[in-house]
Structure 1
Amino acid sequence: MAPLLLLGLSFGTPALVQAAGLPTLQALADGRFDISAEVRMLDDGRVLGELDPRRSLAPASLSKLYIAAAALGRYGPQHRFVTRLVSDGEQRGATLHGDLVLDSGGDPAMTTERYWTLVEQLAARGIERIDGRVRLAQWQFGPEPCGVADRCSARDATMSSYDARLSPVAVDYAAWCVRLLPTRPGAPALVGGCFSSRPLVAVSGEVNTVAEGQPTRLNARRTTANGRDTLTLSGQVSVADGPQSVYRSASDPAQQTLATLEMLFAQSGIRVARGFAIDATPPPAGARELAAVESPPLQMALMDMLNYSNNFMADVLTIGLSASQPPSLASGAAALERFVDTVPGHGPVSLASGSGLTPDSRTSAHGLVALLDAMYRRAELFPTFVSAMQTPGNGAARFIRRGDPLFQRSVMIKTGTLNQPVPVRAIAGYFRTSSGRWGAFAVMLNGRAATPYLVWPDVLQALSSDLTPLIERY
Structure 2
Amino acid sequence: MLPLAASASGFSSLEKMTESGFRISAEARLLGDGGRDGVMLGAIEPQRQLSPASVTKGYLAAAALDRWGPQHRFTTRLVSSAELDANGVLRGDLVFDGGGDPALVTEDLWRLAQRLHQAGVREVEGRLVVSQWRFGPVECITTDRCEARTRVGNSYSALLSSAGVNHGNWCVNVAPGAAAGEPARVTSCDTQALVLGIDNGIETRPPNSGTEFSAERVTRDDGDMMLLRGQISLNASPRDVYRASGDPARQTARTLMAMLDQAGIGVGEGYVTSIEEPPAAARTLARVEGRPLQELLLHVMNYSNNFMADVLALNLVDTPRASLLEAGEAIQDYVAGLPDHGPVVMLSGSGLTTENRTSAHGANVLLESMFHRSSLFPSFVASFQSPANGVSRFIRRGSPLFQDNIMLKTGTLNQPYAVRAVSGYFRTRSGRWGVFTVMVNGTSSTPWLNWTQVLDPLSEDLARMVEAH
Please state which band the TM-score falls in when normalised by the shorter chain: over 0.9
Distance in 2 (CA, whole Å) between partners of 1:259 and 1:386 is 38
Q: 1:202 aligns with which of 197, 201, 215?
A: 197
- In structure 2, the residue matched to 1:38 is 27
2:46 partner amino acid? P
Superposition map of 1:305-454 within 5 A: 305-449=300-444, 452-454=447-449
State the match for 2:274 in structure 1: 279
**Partner amino acid, structure 1, of 2:47:** R
Partner SS state of residue 300, structure 1: helix
Distance 1:174 1:51 in 2: 40
**Does residue 98 of structure 1 match 2:87?**
no
Q: Is the 8 A contact 1:212 1:239 kept in 2?
A: yes
Are 1:463 and 2:452 matched, yes or no? Answer: no
Distance 1:234 1:455, change over 3 A: farther
The aligned amino acid for 1:46 is V
Q: 3-state DSSP class of the match of 1:431? A: strand
- Displacement of 1:471: 1.5
Residue type at the aligned position of 1:53: P
What residue is the counterpart of 1:252 in the other structure? 247
Q: 1:79 to 1:225 in 2, by over 3 A?
A: same
> What is the deviation of 1:237?
5.3
Contact 2:188-2:194 within 8 A present in 1 as well = yes
Measure the CA separation in 2 of the matches of 1:248 and 1:48. 45
Answer whether contact 1:323 1:332 (CA < 8 A) is retained: no
Of 306-315 and 205-214, more deviation after overlay is shown by: 205-214
RMSD, aligned CA: 2.2
Give 1:217 deviation, angstroms. 4.5
Out of 165, 176, 189, the position equivalent to 2:159 is 165
Task: Report if aligned partners of 1:33, 1:445 keep a CA contact under 8 Å in 2.
Answer: yes
Q: Counterpart in 1 of 2:14?
A: 25
User: Are the equivalent residues in 1 in contact too, given 2:313–2:348 (CA < 8 A)?
Assistant: yes
Give, in whole Å, the separation in 2 of the partners of 1:137 and 1:212. 48
| Alpha carbons 1:35, 1:446 under 8 Å: kept | yes
Q: CA deviation at 1:409?
A: 1.8
CA contact (8 A) 1:110 1:170 kept: yes
Cα 1:208/1:400, change in 2 over 3 Å: farther
Deviation at 1:85, TM superposition (A): 0.7
Decide whether the 8 Å contact of 1:82 with 1:294 is kept in 2: yes
Q: Does 1:146 align with 2:135?
A: no
Contact 1:136–1:258, Cα closer than 8 Å, also in 2: yes
| Helix, strand or coil at the partner of 1:90 | coil
- In the TM superposition, what is the alpha-carbon distance from 1:69 to its structure 2 partner? 0.4
Report the alpha carbon displacement of residue 318 of structure 1 after superposing the two structures with TM: 1.3
The DSSP-based 3-state class of the residue aligned with 2:350 is coil
- CA separation in 1, counterparts of 2:325 and 2:15? 35
| Aligned partners of 1:184 and 1:210 also within 8 Å | no
Superposition map of 1:69-218 within 5 A? 69-92=62-85, 93-182=87-176, 189-207=184-202, 217-218=212-213
Partners of 1:28 and 1:462 within 8 A in 2: no
Rounded Cα–Cα distance in structure 1 between residues aligned with 2:24 and 2:204? 46
Offset at 1:436?
1.1
Residue of structure 1 equivalent to 2:47:
54
SS in 2 for 1:21: helix
Distance 1:415 1:325 in 2: 32
TM-score by length of 2: 0.92
SS of 1:368 mapped into structure 2: helix
Q: Distance in 2 between matches of 1:396 and 1:237?
A: 29
Question: Alpha-carbon deviation of 1:55?
Answer: 0.7
Amino acid at match of 2:124: I
Q: Specify the alignment match of 1:220 in structure 2.
A: 215
> Is 1:294 paired with 2:283?
no
Bigger mean CA deviation after superposition, 379-388 or 233-242 = 233-242
Tell whether the 8 Å contact from 2:116 to 2:286 is kept in structure 1 after alignment: yes
Unmatched 5+ stretches in structure 1:
1-14
**Which of 58, 61, 66 lines up with 2:59 in the alignment?**
66
**In structure 2, distance between residues paired with 1:73 and 1:393:** 29
Gap regions ≥5 residues in structure 2: none
From the superposition, tell whether residues 121 and 324 of structure 1 become closer, same or farther in structure 2 (CA, over 3 Å): closer
When residues 185 and 417 of structure 1 are mapped into structure 2, their CA distance, relative to the original with a 3 A threshold, is farther
Shift in alpha-carbon separation, 1:371–1:241, aligned structure 2, 3 A: farther
Q: Distance between the aligned counterparts of 1:268 and 1:280, measured in 2? A: 27
What residue number does 1:9 align with? none
The answer (yes or no) to whether the contact 1:95–1:130 under 8 Å persists in 2 is: yes
* Aligned counterparts of 1:29 and 1:220: Cα–Cα separation in 2: 41
Kept in 2, the 8 Å contact 1:420–1:450? The answer is no
Deviation at 1:193, TM superposition (A): 1.3
In 2, Cα distance between equivalents of 1:57 and 1:176: 35
- Could you tell me how far apart the structure 2 residues matched to 1:159 and 1:71 are? 31
CA distance in 1, matches of 2:47, 2:126: 59
Q: Distance in 2 between matches of 1:275 and 1:46?
A: 64
Q: CA deviation at 1:168?
A: 0.6
Deviation at 1:29, TM superposition (A): 3.8
Aligned residue pairs total 460
Q: Distance in 1 between matches of 2:134 and 2:266?
A: 28
1:419-470, Cα deviation, whole Å (9 max, x unpaired): 1100111111111112211111111111111752111123211211111111
Amino acid at match of 1:36: S
Name whichever of 151-160 and 60-69 sits farther off.
Answer: 151-160
Tell me the TM-score normalised to structure 1 length.
0.92
In structure 2, the CA distance between the partners of 1:119 and 1:27, relative to structure 1 (3 Å rule), is same
Whole-Å separation in 2 of the counterparts to 1:171 and 1:159: 19
Deviation at 1:239, TM superposition (A): 7.5
CA separation in 1, counterparts of 2:17 and 2:208? 38
Counterpart Cα distance in 2 of 1:235 and 1:73? 49
What's 1:12 paired with?
A: none
Q: Does the Cα contact within 8 Å between 1:389 and 1:412 map onto a contact in 2?
A: yes
Mapped to 1, the partners of 2:369 and 2:328 lie a distance apart of 20
